C-alpha cells in the first residue's frame, strides 16, 4: 500500500489514497468474517473505527510534518546556492531554517570535500554557565574526528549520490534521539558545491502529534485510555512508543521481546506489509509485567525511500 511519496518528482504520500486504503482494509476485515474479541469488528461496542480514524489522522499529521521539514531544508539548500556554504550569510540561512521549524535541533553545511564549514544549533551552551558557544567552537566540535558515525554517513551519501537523504534514527552525544535530513547544494551554474544537514528530533515531533490524540501526558507518559501508539523502522528499531523506556530497543534483538512470539511474528508482517491489522500478546508496559492481548492497525509514512511503520493499538483482553 502506498500512502506517500519519497521525493519531489517521485512518489507522493497521498492523504486521499491512504483514506481509501484504510476504508478498504476495514471492509475487507469485516467481510472476511474473522473472529474478533467483543463481538466482532462491526460490533457497536468495538472501537475499530476509532482506531482507524486515529491512525489516519496521525499518519496525515506525521507525513505533513515530514513534508514540511523536507521543503524547509530544500529551500535552505537553494538559498545556500546563492550565498555560498560558509560565512555569515550561510549561518544566516541555517538560523532561518532552525527558526522556521521547531522540530529541528541543529543544521550544518559541508563543502564538496566533506568538511563541515558552517554550523548553527538551538540552545547550544558551554558547560553550565550559560555562555553561548561561538561559531568557531561549534566548527571545532564538527571536525571529521568529532563527527558522529551517522553524520559521517549522511555526508558520504550526499557526496557520492548528490541526492537527498533521510537517515535512520540514532542517539546524539547530548542524549536525545535524532534523525538527519540532508540535501545537496549546487551553484547557480549547476556545479555541486556541498550540502546541508538538518538534525530532526523525532520524539518531539511525535509527542506534539500523538499525545493530544491519545490524551497522554508527555512528561510522565500517563494515559487515560486503552489506546497506545508506536513507530517501528524496517530494521526493527522501536523509534517511538508511549512507553518511553522502549524507545531505541530493537524488536528482534532485545531480550524484552523474545518471549512474545506473536509480537515477533507481527513485527515480521509489519516489515513486509505497508499497512495491515493484527493482534499480539505483550506486557502492558516495561514497568507493568501483566501480559495482555493488543489489537493493532498499522500504516506507513516516509521520506526519500526510508519508511516508518506507524501503529495504533488497544488492549482487548
Q: Who wins on pLDDT, 34 or 190?
A: 190
Q: What is the pTM of this model?
A: 0.80
Residue 29 has pLDDT above 90, yes or no: no
pLDDT at 109: 96
Return the percent helix, strand and coil in the chain, to nearest 5. 35, 30, 35
Residue 66 has pLDDT above 90, yes or no: yes
pLDDT at 63: 97
Contact 223, 233 (CB under 8 A): no
H/E element, 313:
strand 306-315
- Please give the Cα distance from 217 to 96 (Å, whole number): 31
Domain boundaries, the chain: 15-65+204-315, 68-201
Which CATH number is 15-65+204-315 given? 3.30.450.20
Q: Do domains 15-65+204-315 and 68-201 have the same CATH topology?
A: yes
Residue 234 has pLDDT above 50, yes or no: yes
Neighbours of 242 (CB within 10 A): 22
Query: Domain 68-201: which topology?
Result: Beta-Lactamase (3.30.450)
Amino acid at each position: 500500500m502506498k500512502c506517500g511519496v519519497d521525493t519531489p518528482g517521485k512518489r507522493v504520500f497521498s492523504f486521499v489514497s491512504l483514506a481509501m486504503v484504510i476504508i478498504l482494509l476495514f471492509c475487507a476485515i469485516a467481510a472476511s468474517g474473522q473472529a474478533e474479541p467483543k463481538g466482532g469488528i462491526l460490533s457497536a461496542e468495538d472501537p475499530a473505527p476509532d482506531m482507524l480514524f486515529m491512525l489516519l489522522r496521525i499518519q496525515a499529521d506525521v507525513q505533513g510534518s515530514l513534508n514540511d521539514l523536507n521543503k524547509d531544508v530544500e529551500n535552505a539548500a537553494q538559498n545556500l546556492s546563492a550565498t555560498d556554504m560558509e560565512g555569515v550569510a550561510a549561518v544566516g540561512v541555517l538560523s532561518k531554517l532552525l527558526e522556521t521549524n521547531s522540530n529541528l535541533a541543529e543544521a550544518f553545511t559541508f563543502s564538496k570535500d566533506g568538511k563541515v564549514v558552517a554550523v548553527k544549533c538551538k540552545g547550544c551552551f558551554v558547560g553550565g554557565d550559560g555562555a553561548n558557544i561561538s561559531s568557531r567552537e561549534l566548527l571545532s566540535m564538527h571536525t571529521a574526528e568529532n563527527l558522529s558515525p551517522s553524520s559521517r554517513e549522511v555526508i558520504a551519501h550526499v557526496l557520492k549520490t548528490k541526492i537527498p537523504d533521510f537517515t535512520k534514527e540514532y542517539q546524539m552525544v547530548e542524549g536525545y534521539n535524532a534523525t538527519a535530513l540532508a540535501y545537496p547544494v549546487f551553484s547557480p551554474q549547476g556545479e555541486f558545491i556541498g550540502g546541508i544537514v538538518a538534525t530532526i528530533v523525532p520524539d518531539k515531533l511525535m509527542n506534539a502529534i500523538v499525545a493530544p490524540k491519545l490524551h497522554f501526558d508527555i512528561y510522565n507518559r500517563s494515559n487515560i485510555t486503552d489506546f497506545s501508539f508506536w513507530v517501528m523502522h524496517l530494521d526493527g528499531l522501536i523509534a517511538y512508543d508511549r512507553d518511553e523506556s522502549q524507545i531505541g530497543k530493537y524488536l528482534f534483538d532485545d531480550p524484552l521481546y523474545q518471549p512474545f512470539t506473536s509480537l515477533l511474528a507481527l513485527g515480521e508482517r509489519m516489515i513486509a506489509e505497508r499497512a495491515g491489522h493484527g493482534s499480539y500478546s505483550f506486557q502492558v508496559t516495561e514497568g507493568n509485567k501483566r501480559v495482555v492481548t493488543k489489537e493493532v492497525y498499522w500504516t506507513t509514512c516516509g521520506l526519500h525511500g526510508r519508511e516508518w511503520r506507524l501503529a495504533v493499538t488497544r488492549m482487548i483482553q
